[in-house]
Chains A and B, each alone.
Chain A
Amino acid sequence: MYFGKRRNWSIPYVLFLVFFVLVPLALIVLFAFTSEAGGFSFENFRKFLMHPEAMNILIYSIGVALITTILCLLIGYPAAYILSRMETSRARLLVMLFILPMWINFLIRTLATVALFDFLKLPLGEGALLFGMVYNFLPFMIYPIYNILLKTDQNLIEAAEDLGANPRQVFFRTILPLSYPGITSGIMMVFMPVISTFAIAELLTINNIKLFGTTLQENIYNGMWNYGAALSLLMLLLIGIISLLNTQGSARAAEEGGLI
């Protein structure tokens, strides 16, 4: 055939994956286990463990990510629930409005937030940081939950009513458990990127608060390639572990229309 075998069509993608995913990953591992002077060593990891500051930043980052995720869930679930109960055309418009800001680069959005805080004479700092995080990541929580709630079989809700569940029981025993895949999907989409975000922290705290992403970026920016690579590897591991814990949930979410 003129185009050759169909499997050859995948060659460009395979090359892309090799050069932009596998090779960089291998380089990160290589750099992480190499000392400044060259040669295999655990020095970078020892440095991380000896430096309470870096450790604290990691724990602080996980804390910020946790709080952001919880806030997004608390605000996002009711929003998604209300949207899913609405007439479809109106709900679609509102979902669009929630997602609309995502079409603008998040740096610009965050700069706008800074301007907004200035205008309202609100102090920048921890509060502003959390506000910025929630503002940026809320749609990622709403959308998968909304999607799964929308697909909830109305018959199941009627079945629960039929079996004697009052509206509260219907929610807690049927709707909520049925939307778990959407919730896990939303958590993954918020928690993981927040850990490694640095620009939002930089802008909204005038560089006063450092997140793990900031440390990472600073080290690499300052030419500390080996230490930076070690930190990256740690973060990858952390994200990997969380994803693994979530595999089952996200597999179901994928099956039922979640985002991840």
Chain B
Amino acid sequence: MQQKPDTSIITVQHLSHAFGGKTVLKDINLSIGKGEFVTILGPSGCGKTTLMRLIGGFLKAMEGKITIAGKDMTNTPPHLRPVNTVFQRYALFPHLNVFGNIAFGLNLKKLTQEEIKKRVMHVLKIVTMTDYEERDVDTLSGGQQQRVAIARAIVNEPEVLLLDEPLAALDLKMRKDMQMEIKAMHKKLGISFVYVTHDQEEALTLSDRIVVMREGEIQQIGTPAQIYNEPENSFVADFIGESNILNGIMIKDRFVEFAGHQFECVDKGFGLHEPVDVVIRPEDIYIFEKLEAAQFTGKVTSSIFKGVHYEMMVTTPEGFEFMIQDYNSFDVGQTVGMLVKPFDIQVMKKERLCNTFEGTVIDKSHIRFLGNNFKCDEAQRYESGASVKVSVDFRNVILHDNEEDGMLSGSVSFILYKGDHYHLTVLTEGDEHIFADTNDIWDDGDRVGISISPDTIQVAND
């Protein structure tokens, strides 16, 4: 999906940034086409706002290059960039009325008063705020302030409009209306929009392309349909919409095993018996009463009416839980049959199969990694001081309620439900990731102690 260079208005190359030693953006490469609506999507703290502020020029890039409209603008101050921003809290000037706010940029360009008036009136019409020009900005509602903020930006006819979570402060109904208006405005103006949000539904509705970010890195770039139907990893699958994510094994091309059953699928090119992640959207599982037609069966454990459909949880005899959305309701306790079509099974390469760390052998019974000395049975086979590769299975990482009970401590940063267990990402004090599989229920942000049993640490030569 990379745009050809001659049609792109913004190119970001190898962009990295850090705040006080903590990396917030890692080697970002991105190109935004002329007239394109690109959404940067991710949970809070993923670096999306930093990326936008770097494009706007409010932050100086530490590494990498930003090209706007064919010119290297990495070190250009914001007032010289052909980019305008709609700020999250609107940032309207309280000392100016609506007209004064919108005319701010035009006044700086030394246009004639007539020309300014003409252009202000024109954009007021676009944002449907005609007759509001004399109003004090304090007297406007949130939605109206939003419109003025957009008008103030687009009146300068920028090549790119940056929007930083512009709808975050509005209520749901207003947000839906404004989404449609922003989309219509984009069509009318024909300029590029770069839209930052944490709301996946908003991103799917508005964008030509979505950039999914997590912890300073781009996870996937694609059209809304691509992101939804073919997520590249379990994070994207989990973040965009609802999904069932399970561990699977690729038996052979077009044949995958998960939840104790084998399924036909459309994916190929994996190794024989390669472990994979499998994603099935809840609306893609067919559910019915006739058990003989089923690929697999299960018992309904809960059923909730969601307006258009019912959302049901079904547990299979093998102990896997599936979320299913269907227009028909099935009773709790009822045994049902289920079926998944091959093209509705999305198979993804696993990012990792176990935890791996760089380590150093301390003595016959200790190895140092993650900034700690761990007791390790296999250490005796290696010389003291040797550099080694340490690996630990997800299952063998033990999490404790009490931070003091662990050898090191961290906080849960991401939880993935895998149908029969949770896959947790824990961020250690030393800012490293450790992954753990567990049946216990943890919450995002929980502080945990981490320990690893000496006999489960595997060591190999570096």
Chain A residues in contact with chain B, CB under 8 A?
153, 155-156, 158-166, 169, 173-174, 177-178, 180
Structural contact, A162 and B56, CB atoms closer than 8 A: yes
State how many angstroms separate the Cβ of A59 from the closest Cβ of chain B. Answer: 34
Q: Give the CA-CA distance A164 to B84 in the complex, in Å.
A: 9
Q: Across the interface, name the chain A residue whose C-beta is closest to B104.
A: A163
Structural contact, A161 and B78, CB atoms closer than 8 A: yes
Q: Across the interface, name the chain A residue whose C-beta is closest to B103.
A: A163
Q: Give the CA-CA distance A166 to B105 in the complex, in Å.
A: 11
Structural contact, B78 and A180, CB atoms closer than 8 A: no
Structural contact, B105 and A163, CB atoms closer than 8 A: yes
B350 within 8 A of A: no
B315 within 8 A of A: no
Q: Give the CA-CA distance A158 to B77 in the complex, in Å.
A: 11
Structural contact, A158 and B87, CB atoms closer than 8 A: yes
State how many angstroms separate the Cβ of B449 from the closest Cβ of chain A. Answer: 35
Q: Give the CA-CA distance A156 to B94 in the complex, in Å.
A: 9
Q: Across the interface, name the chain A residue whose C-beta is closest to B84.
A: A162
State how many angstroms separate the Cβ of A114 from the closest Cβ of chain B. Answer: 43
Q: What are the residues of chain A within 8 A of B85 when measuring CB–CB?
A: 158-159, 162
Q: What are the residues of chain A within 8 A of B57 when measuring CB–CB?
A: 161
Contact with A along B79-95 (1 / 0, CB 8 A): 10001110101011111
Interchain residue pairs with CB less than 8 A apart (25)? A155-B89, A156-B91, A158-B58, A158-B91, A159-B87, A159-B92, A159-B152, A160-B93, A160-B104, A161-B78, A162-B56, A162-B58, A162-B78, A162-B153, A163-B104, A163-B152, A164-B105, A164-B108, A164-B109, A165-B79, A173-B108, A174-B93, A177-B95, A178-B95, A180-B95
Q: Across the interface, name the chain A residue whose C-beta is closest to B77.
A: A161
Q: What are the residues of chain B within 8 A of A162 when measuring CB–CB?
A: 56, 58, 78-79, 83-85, 153
State how many angstroms separate the Cβ of A167 from the closest Cβ of chain B. Answer: 8
Q: What are the residues of chain B within 8 A of A158 when measuring CB–CB?
A: 58, 78, 85, 87, 91
B409 within 8 A of A: no
Structural contact, A155 and B79, CB atoms closer than 8 A: no
Q: Across the interface, name the chain B residue whose C-beta is closest to A166.
A: B79
Q: Give the CA-CA distance A133 to B414 in the complex, in Å.
A: 63
A-B pairs, top 9 by smallest CB distance, nearest first, are: A163-B105, A155-B91, A159-B91, A161-B78, A177-B95, A162-B85, A164-B108, A164-B79, A161-B79
B156 within 8 A of A: yes
Instruction: Kindly name the residue among A160, A161, A163 whose own CB sees the greatest number of chain B CB atoms within 10 A.
Output: A163
Structural contact, A163 and B108, CB atoms closer than 8 A: yes
Q: Give the CA-CA distance A161 to B84 in the complex, in Å.
A: 10
Structural contact, B95 and A161, CB atoms closer than 8 A: no
Structural contact, A178 and B78, CB atoms closer than 8 A: no
Q: Across the interface, name the chain B residue whose C-beta is closest to A155.
A: B91
Structural contact, B93 and A159, CB atoms closer than 8 A: yes
Q: What are the residues of chain B within 8 A of A159 when measuring CB–CB?
A: 85, 87, 91-93, 152
Q: What are the residues of chain A within 8 A of B104 when measuring CB–CB?
A: 160, 163, 165, 173
Q: Give the CA-CA distance A158 to B91 in the complex, in Å.
A: 9
Q: Give the CA-CA distance A169 to B89 in the complex, in Å.
A: 22
A158-B78, A163-B84, A173-B104 known; A153 vs B95 contact (CB < 8 Å): no
Q: Give the CA-CA distance A158 to B53 in the complex, in Å.
A: 10
Q: Across the interface, name the chain B residue whose C-beta is closest to A180.
A: B95
Q: What are the residues of chain B within 8 A of A169 when measuring CB–CB?
A: 79, 108
Contact with A along B99-139 (1 / 0, CB 8 A): 00000110011000000000000000000000000000000
State how many angstroms separate the Cβ of B337 from the closest Cβ of chain A. Answer: 56
Q: What are the residues of chain A within 8 A of B92 when measuring CB–CB?
A: 159
State how many angstroms separate the Cβ of B394 from the closest Cβ of chain A. Answer: 43
State how many angstroms separate the Cβ of A251 from the closest Cβ of chain B. Answer: 14
Q: Give the CA-CA distance A164 to B85 in the complex, in Å.
A: 11
Q: Tell which of B83, B94, B109, B153 touches A178, judged by Cβ atoms closer than 8 Å.
A: B94
Q: What are the residues of chain B within 8 A of A177 when measuring CB–CB?
A: 95
State how many angstroms separate the Cβ of B323 from the closest Cβ of chain A. Answer: 41
Q: What are the residues of chain A within 8 A of B109 when measuring CB–CB?
A: 164
Q: What are the residues of chain A within 8 A of B153 when measuring CB–CB?
A: 162-163
Structural contact, B87 and A155, CB atoms closer than 8 A: yes
Q: Give the CA-CA distance A162 to B93 in the complex, in Å.
A: 13
Structural contact, A156 and B156, CB atoms closer than 8 A: no
A156-B93, A159-B93 known; A165 vs B108 contact (CB < 8 Å): yes
Structural contact, A163 and B58, CB atoms closer than 8 A: no
